[in-house]
Amino acid sequence: MSVTNDLLNTVLRHAGQEVSRKEFLNLAGRGLAASVAAGTLAACQEKTGAANAAATTPTTGTPAAQVDANTVYAAPGGPQVPSSEAVSPPAKVPAAADKPIELEAWKSDVDPKSPPTPTPLPPDQRVGYALVGLGHLTLEELLPAFGACKKSKPVALVSGSPEKLAKVAKQYGIKPTSCYSYADYDKLKDNPEVQAIYIVLPNSMHAEYVLRGAKTGKHILCEKPMANSVRECELMIAACKEAKVKLMIAYRIQYEPYNRLVRDMVRGEKFGKVKYIQAQNSQSSANPDHWRHKKALAGGGALPDIGLYCLNTSRFLLGTEPTEVFGYMHSTPGNPLFKEVEEMMSWQMRFPNGVLVSAITHYDTHDSRFYRVNAERGWLHLDNGYAYRGQQLTTSHAEGPAKMQNQLTIGANNQFAAEMDHFSECILENKPPHTPGEEGLQDQRIMEAIYQSAREGRPVKLPPVSGTDVFRGPEPKLG
C-alpha cells in the first residue's frame, strides 16, 4: 500500500495534480492504480528528463530483509514496476505430517470452501510401485498420475519391449536395474524398493500375474476386470491370502468425488428412495487384431471392458447386490471386430426392494458414458460418469410450481492418483482395501450370469446377499 501511495504522490506531483488522489483510486482500483502510476511515472520522467536515481534499484533476488518497500524495479527498456515488502502472513503449520498447513483465510463463506492444502509424504516414505505392462493405460494415465500422488511413486517397470523400458525409465527416473522383462517378473521379489505391483495387462493375464506376484511377497493392485472367470478370481484371492499380501482391484470410480457424492445422496435419500437407474457406457473400436477383440485374451467384449462400470458403479451407489439379471446381446454379422466378442450387451439387474438397473454397453457407437438415478422426488444425472475426467452432475426436483434443475460443481481429482494412494495407505497402515478381490469376484459372478441369461434368453437368479457393502473394505480417506 505504501508503494501505491508513494508512486501516486509522485505521479500527482509530476502530472500537476490534474486528478485528485481519491478520483484516481476510484477510477483505477488500487492494484491497477499502482501499475498505472508506475507507467505514468516512467513517462513523466522521460518527458521531463528528470530521472529519479533513488527510484531505480533494478536488481532482483534481493533478500526480503534488505528490500526497501519504496524501491521501484526497472524492466528492460525502462518501464518500472513497484516493489512490495516480502512477508509470510500468519499460517498454522502443524508438525504432524498428515495435518495440512492452514494459510491465512481471505475468502468469505459466500463461495465454496477451498480443499485443505495437500499433505504429500516425503518421497522416501512413499510406497514404491512396479508397473507391469507399458500400454495405453500405463503410459497415458497411470505414470502421469503419480505426479498427483501423495503416497505412491513408480520405482520399477515390467515390459516385453526393451526400447519402451529404456525410454519410459528415463522419462520417470527409474533405475535401469529396476526394469524387467516378463520372464524376469518374478525377480521383483529381490527389489526392496518395490512394495506394490500394479498389473496393467490384457484381462486373461491378470490371474497368472497375480499368482506369480503373490509369490514375490509384494502387495498387488490389479486392473479391472479382475479376471476372465469366477474360478480365476477365487484362485487370485486365495493366492494373496496365503502369501499374506493385499489384493485390490482398480475400481477408480469408487475413489472419484462426483460418483462418491452421488452415492452419498442416494444413501442419504436426498430425493427419497431410489426406484431405478439407467446406465450407459459406450465407445467405438476399429482394430480387430487388438487383444480386446480376442476372446481368449479379453474374456468378452463390451461387457467386461466398459459395461463393467455400469455394473460396478450401480452396486457401489446402492450398496446392495442384485438378485436376478436379464441380458440381451448382439454382434453385427460379418463385422471382423465382433467375430469373437460381443459388440453390445443390454441388461437389467433386479436389486432388493424392487430397485431396477437398466444398462447398455456398446463397442460401435460414439463415446457416451452417463447414468441417471431416478428417485421418488428427483433425479441425479452424472454425465461422463465413467470417464477419466469431466464429470457433470445435474439434479432435478420440484419446489412449489418450479422444476429445479441444478448443476453441482465440486473439486475434481485424478482418479488414478486417488486409487493408488488409497492402496498405498492400506499398505502403510496395514488396512484392507476398499475394493478388494472379493469386489472383483462379485462383478465376475454377475457378468457370468448376464452372459448365461443372454445365451439362454431368460432371467438368471443370483445367490442372495444380505447387508450393505458386503464385498467392500473400509471407507478410503481421500483428499
CB 437 within 8 A of CB 226: yes
Q: Does 250 bind ligand NAD (CB under 6 A)?
A: yes
Nearer to ligand NAD, 225 or 378 (CB): 225
Q: Which long-range contacts (CB under 8 A, 24 or more apart) does 456-464 make?
A: 458/326, 459/324, 459/325, 459/326, 460/324, 460/325, 460/326, 461/323, 461/324, 462/321, 462/322, 462/323, 462/324, 462/325, 464/321, 464/323
Q: Does 156 bind ligand NAD (CB under 6 A)?
A: no
Shortest reach from residue 143's CB to ligand NAD, in Å:
11
Helices vs. strands in the chain: H and E counts, helices first: 14, 17
Of 189, 222, 220, 182, which Cα lies nearest the Cα of 206?
222
Respond yes or no: is residue 276 known to be catalytic: no
Question: Which uninterrupted H or E stretch holds 260?
Answer: helix 257-267
Query: CA–CA separation, 198 vs 469, rounded Å?
Result: 24
Nearer to ligand NAD, 99 or 136 (CB): 136
Of 194, 263, 207, which Cα lies nearest the Cα of 237?
207
Nearer to ligand NAD, 133 or 154 (CB): 133
Site for ligand NAD in 393-452 (CB under 6 A): none
Q: Does 270 bind ligand NAD (CB under 6 A)?
A: no
Query: CA–CA separation, 128 vs 154, rounded Å?
Result: 6
Shortest reach from residue 120's CB to ligand NAD, in Å:
23
Instruction: Please state whether the peptide bond connecting residue 433 to the residue before it is cis, i.e. omega within 30 degrees of 0.
Output: no
Q: 151, 153, 218, 224: which one is catalytic?
A: 224
Q: Does 134 bind ligand NAD (CB under 6 A)?
A: yes
Q: Does 295 bind ligand NAD (CB under 6 A)?
A: no
If you search the block for the grid coordinates 443372454, which residue do you land on? 454
Q: Which residue is nearest to ligand NAD (CB)?
A: 135
Site for ligand NAD in 180-219 (CB under 6 A): 200-203
Selected from 45, 55, 121, 133, the binder of ligand NAD by CB under 6 A is 133
Nearer to ligand NAD, 80 or 203 (CB): 203
Nearer to ligand NAD, 209 or 326 (CB): 209
Query: CA–CA separation, 350 vs 276, rounded Å?
Result: 9
Q: What's the half-sphere exposure (Cβ side, CA atoms, 13 Å) at 258?
A: 28
Q: Does 291 bind ligand NAD (CB under 6 A)?
A: yes
Shortest reach from residue 30's CB to ligand NAD, in Å:
49
Q: Does 282 bind ligand NAD (CB under 6 A)?
A: no
Q: Does 154 bind ligand NAD (CB under 6 A)?
A: no
Respond yes or no: is residue 224 known to be catalytic: yes
Shortest reach from residue 22's CB to ligand NAD, in Å:
59
Q: Does 135 bind ligand NAD (CB under 6 A)?
A: yes
Q: Does 328 bind ligand NAD (CB under 6 A)?
A: no
Selected from 136, 187, 231, 273, the binder of ligand NAD by CB under 6 A is 136
The site for ligand NAD, by CB under 6 A, has a size of 17
Q: Residues with Cβ < 8 Å from 374, sequence gap 6 or more?
A: 274, 275, 276, 277, 278
Of 421, 413, 438, which Cα lies nearest the Cα of 476?
421
Q: Residues with Cβ < 8 Å from 419, sequence gap 6 or more?
A: 221, 250, 251, 252, 254, 255
Shortest reach from residue 309's CB to ligand NAD, in Å:
8
Selected from 37, 131, 137, 227, the binder of ligand NAD by CB under 6 A is 137
Q: Does 73 bind ligand NAD (CB under 6 A)?
A: no
Q: What are the residues binding ligand NAD (CB under 6 A)?
A: 133-137, 160, 200-203, 223-224, 250, 252, 291, 297, 305
Active site residues: 224, 309
